Structure 1
Amino acid sequence: MKVLLTGGGGFIGAWIARRLAARGMALRILDLRARRETIDLVCGPAVADAAEWVEADVADTAAVRAAARGCDALIHLAGMLTPCCRADPVLGAKVNLIGLLNAFLAARSEGIDRVLYMSSAGVFGPDGGEAPRPTTHYGAFKLAGERCAAAFWEDDRIPSIGFRPYVVYGLGREDGLSAGPSLACRAAARGLPYTIPFTGEFDVIHADDVAAAFEIALAAPVSQAHHIDLLGERARAEDVIEAIRGAVPQAAITAKGPPMPIRLPGYPTGPQGLLAGWSPRPLALGVAQTIDAYRRVDDAR
């Protein structure tokens, strides 16, 4: 199987590439540039070496269609995170919304039987209501993408799954509003102080568990357009700090700042049954694994 990963050179893309390469799948990665640093970090150089790289803008319809030619599956990950969308909403819309439209158009033209894509818990606002009410450009673009996915099902019968994780952590996470737990793990591994820049309650999930959901969804019996709240463990910043200190008792990690501008509804939405056998790891285990991964990387340098 050959899989197209748009934005595959990023953090989540690297973890998905790690899983798919381990299963012997061929990878074609579309990115604005052949940024292999995160894949090298998470997977090792062999995966990046074996991948076919396509340097193109996801907002370029013809380029995305050409990249999809000959592929059996399409995973759409290309996107700009909250701070970048705030700084340049027009560019954010081009990448996060036009890019998603191009992924679906490529699947339609090349006969790919489903689109798996990264949505976000950012579709919810701070009120915690069951209906999404985003208060950021990023969340608005992600919600619009979900609605467009539904339209592609109605018009073209392209099935899809959009995954909505909240705070994703793990080796290689550097950017975005919710990168704090990952950066705290890295700092603890290096004996450095760090302050997580937000407080309050959120959901936290390891990047490999997100990747596992995409891997399972490649073969799931999917029809229609679905979105799934991809949840790991409800936590507060203090819980992340406690987990870090469970692995590094002397860690100088604190938290300060306003809560994240997202409050999840009381229970997950979406057809969880599509992810048969999927189960996220506990926070304490994932944090310990992340700290260990950063230590091994540092030791190898």
Structure 2
Amino acid sequence: MKQVLITGGGGFLAAWIARRLAARGTRLRLFDVPGAPRTASDIVLPRHASQLDWRQGDIRSADDVRAAMEGCDAVIHLAGVLTPACSANPVRGAEINLIGSLHVFDAARAQGLSKVVYASSAGVYGPAHSRHPEPATHYGAFKLAVEGAARAYWNEHRIASTGFRPFVIYGPGRETGVSAGPSLACRAAVRGIPYTIGFTGACGLVYVDDVAEAFENALFAPAEGAKVFNLVGELHTIDAVIAEIRRQVPDADLRAEGPPLTIAADVTEEGPDELLAAGRRSTLAEGIAATLTHYRSLEESA
């Protein structure tokens, strides 16, 4: 591949995917809104930051998306706003998460691309159903609509797609969103300050580099149809997360409060093995250790 476009390029997950692609020599174009923070990319891409082609624009603008995709021969679509923003302004959430995704598929068609790799979400599941998507939030509803649109683009235009539904992604640089609590708890433990994770209960926890590997493999794998995969990781309670952080940082002052996430805890992971055959799932202990190491290195260099 000559050049890959990553929408939402200033974000946490984009940085980890870009790190993997840059390491294999792939040219990258990162697209995000003007003024979007590039903190995550600066954290995990220090060796490659100067090699990235940054483009500014609005995912809600078809012209901006087409211009960003010009000259690219692959796309990973990550741009979007999370649950709180969608709940606060559903129309804006739909414009970004749904209409923006349609712009990406249309631009891919115009550019002659054969597939789109994109981020859906475990938010397509509600709290009561673990087999059949029944979202309980605007965010989940928009993501489910994108999955349906992806099927339509395959049926009508033969644009293949691979979508991923990550559950709680954690790891270095994950510092925004309701489910950032496990990562922020690691940062607080390293800094020696109290922290309260804002939700309780059990959830799938998947380490960020495992998610990045899935996107990388999907990008280079042959694609046909419109496939969507759950990326659950390991199922743990938030109490177990806190216990693991305390095992590695015994004096960590952590607690959790608030309702569980609005996603069924027992959703299964089926299918991703075909895209993760070259890798493995990180255990909670391994993921926590890597996250703590990252934040320790930041404190030491500050």
For the residue of structure 2 that corresponds to 1:185, the secondary structure is: helix
User: Matched residues in 2 for 1:209 and 1:189: separation?
Assistant: 23
For the residue of structure 2 that corresponds to 1:179, the secondary structure is: helix
Deviations 1:254-287 (A, max 9, x none): 1111111110455224464243323220011100
Contact 1:36 / 1:48 at 8 angstroms: preserved in 2?
Answer: no
User: Matched residues in 2 for 1:275 and 1:143: separation?
Assistant: 23
Counterparts of residues 1-301 of structure 1 (less than 5 Å): 1-33=2-34, 35-44=37-46, 46-270=47-271, 272-301=273-302
User: Matched residues in 2 for 1:35 and 1:53: separation?
Assistant: 12
The amino acid across from 2:211 in the alignment is V
Offset at 1:298?
Answer: 1.7
The TM-score with structure 1 as length reference comes to: 0.96
Q: Using the TM superposition, name which of 179-188 and 259-268 deviates more.
A: 259-268
For the residue of structure 2 that corresponds to 1:218, the secondary structure is: helix
User: Matched residues in 1 for 2:25 and 2:112: separation?
Assistant: 22
User: Matched residues in 2 for 1:7 and 1:104: separation?
Assistant: 15
Offset at 1:112?
Answer: 1.5
- Could you list the runs of 5+ residues in structure 1 that have no partner in the other structure? none
Contact 2:7 / 2:78 at 8 angstroms: preserved in 1?
Answer: yes
Contact 2:8 / 2:77 at 8 angstroms: preserved in 1?
Answer: yes
Q: Using the TM superposition, name which of 266-275 and 105-114 deviates more.
A: 266-275
User: Matched residues in 2 for 1:288 and 1:271: separation?
Assistant: 24
- Could you list the runs of 5+ residues in structure 2 that have no partner in the other structure? none
Offset at 1:129?
Answer: 3.5
Contact 1:246 / 1:284 at 8 angstroms: preserved in 2?
Answer: no
Contact 2:86 / 2:92 at 8 angstroms: preserved in 1?
Answer: yes
The amino acid across from 2:188 in the alignment is A
Q: Which runs of 4+ in 1 moved over 6 A?
A: none
For the residue of structure 2 that corresponds to 1:250, the secondary structure is: coil
User: Matched residues in 1 for 2:50 and 2:272: separation?
Assistant: 36
Offset at 1:246?
Answer: 2.0
User: Matched residues in 2 for 1:298 and 1:106: separation?
Assistant: 42
Aligned identity (percent) is: 53
User: Matched residues in 2 for 1:233 and 1:227: separation?
Assistant: 19
User: Matched residues in 2 for 1:194 and 1:219: separation?
Assistant: 40
User: Matched residues in 2 for 1:77 and 1:228: separation?
Assistant: 15
User: Matched residues in 1 for 2:291 and 2:266: separation?
Assistant: 28
For the residue of structure 1 that corresponds to 2:164, the secondary structure is: strand
Offset at 1:220?
Answer: 1.4
Offset at 1:297?
Answer: 1.3
Deviations 1:63-107 (A, max 9, x none): 111111111210000000001111111111111001111111111
User: Matched residues in 1 for 2:292 and 2:271: separation?
Assistant: 32
The TM-score with structure 2 as length reference comes to: 0.96
Offset at 1:188?
Answer: 0.6
The amino acid across from 2:190 in the alignment is A
The amino acid across from 1:296 in the alignment is S
Supply the RMSD in Å over aligned alpha carbons: 1.3
User: Matched residues in 2 for 1:37 and 1:126: separation?
Assistant: 33
